[in-house]
Every structure is written in structure tokens, then in C-alpha cells.
Chain A
Amino acid sequence: MENSDALLQKIESYFSDNMSEKERKSFEQEISRDTELAAEVALFRQSHEAIQVFAETELKNRLKKRYYEETPAKPVRRLFRQPWAMVAAASVCLLIAASIWIFFPKNSSPLSPEELFQTYYKPNSAIAHRGDDNPVIEAVNEAYLNEDYEKVIQLIGKLSPDSIGDRAPYIFMLLGSSYLAHKEPEEAISAFDKVQEGSAYQWKAKWYKALALLQLGNAVEAQPLLKDLTQSREFGEDAKIILSRIEE
């Protein structure tokens, strides 16, 4: 059977409920008599369903893109709008590149754990998210996003276990990260230890704990954590490099 435009139009009307009761009944009788027409109708239905699945995937991607575009820029992004900040950033990049060149010459001279920490540590502003209905936790989020780590530590100290509830892994992740940024690695390790295995922050906590140990010069305890981290998509590559540097 040739699926002419007129036939497609008819099938479309049938599916979109744009037929009168009489037309519908007549078309259904036609379908029951004509197996080729029935096959065309079934094929149209399948195609329609395929379009729905495809369009939903497209819509999902569009909405996610919208979220990332419209989520307020972090302070560091605003900073880079200033020309002087861009120059400063470029200088920092050059400095880092020079450091890498110095630290990783062709003969791969070993790095101390502290140097590895300096090379790989950077505060992670992407951990915190606004939108909590608890005002103290929301103030913690705000302080963290503003890189006011001292305030984060103070505010979290005021939270009771009841108010933290099931947000504990998130709160301890913020606390550990703040201690680390505040150059208090022992306190950071103790906070990261409280982030549960299996939580969304388990890899991040492990990574920053390993870095905190390196900052303390304790490569022995950092090693098993880094070995675990080689399984992580986010930190795996860096963990492998650090391990190879330690093992040298």
C-alpha cells in the first residue's frame, strides 16, 4: 500500500482525535478489513512513539543547558569579567606552567608530599549549592560560595545534629573543605572521615583527605586512598599521577 500524504493525514487525524465519531468508526472498520492499512497504522504509531522518545531527550538536554546557563555565576566567574583579573589569571597560569616545568623535568625528580599537595590542591567551590530551607545551612552555603571558610566553620559549629539530619555528608564535606582551605589539615581529615561511604561525596571526601594527608607529609596513609581513587571518574587520572610520583 502506498502511504500517500492523504492517508498519512487520515491516520494522523485518527491518532490526534480529530475525527468525528462517524469517521472514526468507518476508519476502524477499514483497519479491521485491510491488513495493509492496519500495518501502516501500527507503523505510524511506532514512529510517533519514536518521535516522543527523541523529543523528550532533546527537551531534557535543553532544560539542563538552561539550568547551567541561568544558575547564578559563582564569585570566581564574576571576578574574571574584570580585565585586570584576566591578566592576573593569565599570570597565574604561566606561573603554574613554569612550576610544572620545574617540578616535572625530563628526569622526573621526585616531589615531596607537600609539593604534591601544592600542585594538586585547589578549593572546590562547586560543592556548595544554594536552596536549603534551613536558614543556618543556607548561610553556610552562602559563606562557602563566598570563600569565607572561617565563617563556614563557625556556622557549622552552631548546627545541632537534629538540624543537620540526613544532610550530614554534605555538611561534613563543606566543613572538611573549609578546614583544608583554612590550612587546618588535621581538622579537615577528621571532618572528611565523617562523610559516609556510599554518599554522593564519598570520592570528593577521599580525594581531599588524601590531599590533606599529603599536606601533613603523610604519603604512607595517602597512598591507599589514592589507589581507591583511581576508580573515580573525577579524580582517577590525577590520583594515578600522584601515586606514580610518590612511588618514584
Chain B
Amino acid sequence: MTDQEIISALQAGGARQEACLNYLFDQHKGLVGSAISRHQISEEEALDAYADAIIGFRKQVMLGKFRGESKISTYFYTIYFRRCVDLIRRRATHQISQVEEYPEVEDETVNTEADLITREAFNQVMEYMEKLGEVCRKILMYRYYYGYEDMEEIARLVEVKNANTAGSLRYRCMKQLMRIIKEAELQQN
């Protein structure tokens, strides 16, 4: 895929976006192995950083922050290695000489650290989502994260009867989530 095709597929959402994320993941996964030996991090840590980088890159594209001033591979490599260096920094400050190895990237938006949420907020969100049934979680994820527009397709993915069922569930599930959050906030206050 060319850089333009990757951007188009991510922005299109739905099955095209999912396939593109798999493509991106497979395309650069050799970086996991090289980070293990180069940055002295474990395979689990390298893989965590790599998956975070894919997700971070997707987010930058979806928010229109990736301006295409650098090649996707360079941009992605930089996000990934910043994640790795974050891990190293947390472990020992004397091991961060790798920072110098970053390639030059013109996009100033490459730093995705601001997107990270606190552990407490994360746990809270997961608690809200846990209160929804599995079908609801999936419907909301396909519709509002991957951007599937076709309810027929969502019905097939979450294995409900048809597009009408999926369509009405979509609103019902969203209302349920809104209610869960509202109740939790009322309890906190």
C-alpha cells in the first residue's frame, strides 16, 4: 500500500480501516525484535510499545494531525521508538542514549504522549464498559471507533438478526452507556 492508500483506508473506517491496521502491524513488526536487542527491553514491553504506536498513529490520522510531511514509515518509527525510550527512561535514566537515534521528522504532531490517560481514569472507563453487555460493547466499538456505517455489516460482526436490530441496539446501547456514566457521576458527587 502507498502512504496515500494507507491514509485513505484509515479515514474510510470500517473493514478497510481494520484491514489497514493489520497491514501496518505486519509491515513493521520486525521493529519488535530489533528493539529487544537494541533497547534491552523485554518482548512483552517491545510489543506493548509497538501496538501503542500503531494505535497512536491511527489516532493522529483520524484527528487530521498527520500532515504527511514525512513518510509514514519514518513517522511511525519515531512514535514507536519514543514509546520504547519512555520504557527505558522509567527503568533507568542512564540508558537513554538511544534518543539520538531518532530520525528527523518534520511533523510536530508526532508526540502522542498527551493522549495517554491516567490509570485511574482508565479503570473507571473500563468499569463503565464492563457494565454493558458484550454485544453492546462491540456494537459501540464498531460504530464509534472503527466507524462502520453499514448496520448490515455491524449485524454480521456482532451476530445479531439483521440491520434493523443492530440499528436499534446501537442507540439503546449508547443510551445505556450514557446512563451508566451519569449514575456513576451522581454517586461520586
Q: Are the C-beta atoms of B33 and A132 separated by less than 8 Å? A: yes
Stretch at the interface among A41-49, A83-91, A96-104, A239-247: A41-49
Contact (A43, B181) CB under 8 Å given A54-B129, A54-B141: yes
The secondary-structure label for the interface of chain B is helix
Q: Are the C-beta atoms of A198 and B51 separated by less than 8 Å? A: no
Q: Are the C-beta atoms of B144 and A166 separated by less than 8 Å? A: no
Q: Is residue A27 within 8 Å, beta carbon to beta carbon, of the partner chain?
A: no
**Nearest CB of A to B188, in Å:** 13
Q: Is residue A169 within 8 Å, beta carbon to beta carbon, of the partner chain?
A: yes
Q: Are the C-beta atoms of B181 and A129 separated by less than 8 Å? A: no
CB neighbours of B97 from chain A (8 A): 166
Cβ-neighbour of B171 out of A5, A141, A167 (below 8 A): A5
> In the complex, how many residues of chain B place their beta carbon closer than 8 angstroms to a beta carbon of chain A?
51
The secondary-structure label for the interface of chain A is helix
Q: Is residue B160 within 8 Å, beta carbon to beta carbon, of the partner chain?
A: no
Roughly how many angstroms separate A141 CA and B30 CA in the complex, as a whole number? Answer: 13
Q: Could you mark each residue 60-85 of chain A with 1 if its beta carbon is under 8 Å from any beta carbon of chain B, else 0?
A: 10011011001100000000000000
Interfacial residues, chain A to chain B (CB-CB below 8 A): 3, 5, 8-9, 40, 43-44, 46-60, 63-64, 66-67, 70-71, 126, 129-133, 137, 141, 166-167, 169-171, 198-201
Interfacial residues, chain B to chain A (CB-CB below 8 A): 21-22, 25-26, 29-34, 36-43, 45, 47-48, 50-52, 54-55, 91-92, 95, 97-98, 117, 122, 125-126, 128-129, 137, 140-141, 144-146, 168, 171, 174-175, 177-178, 181-182
Given contact pairs A59-B51, A166-B38, a sample of 11 additional A-B residue pairs in the complex whose CB atoms are under 8 Å apart: A9-B171, A49-B125, A50-B129, A51-B129, A53-B122, A57-B126, A60-B52, A63-B50, A67-B32, A129-B32, A131-B33
19 inter-chain pairs at a CB distance below 8 angstroms, sorted by A residue, are A5-B168, A5-B171, A40-B178, A47-B178, A50-B129, A50-B181, A53-B125, A54-B129, A60-B48, A63-B21, A63-B50, A63-B51, A66-B22, A66-B25, A67-B47, A167-B37, A169-B40, A200-B40, A200-B41
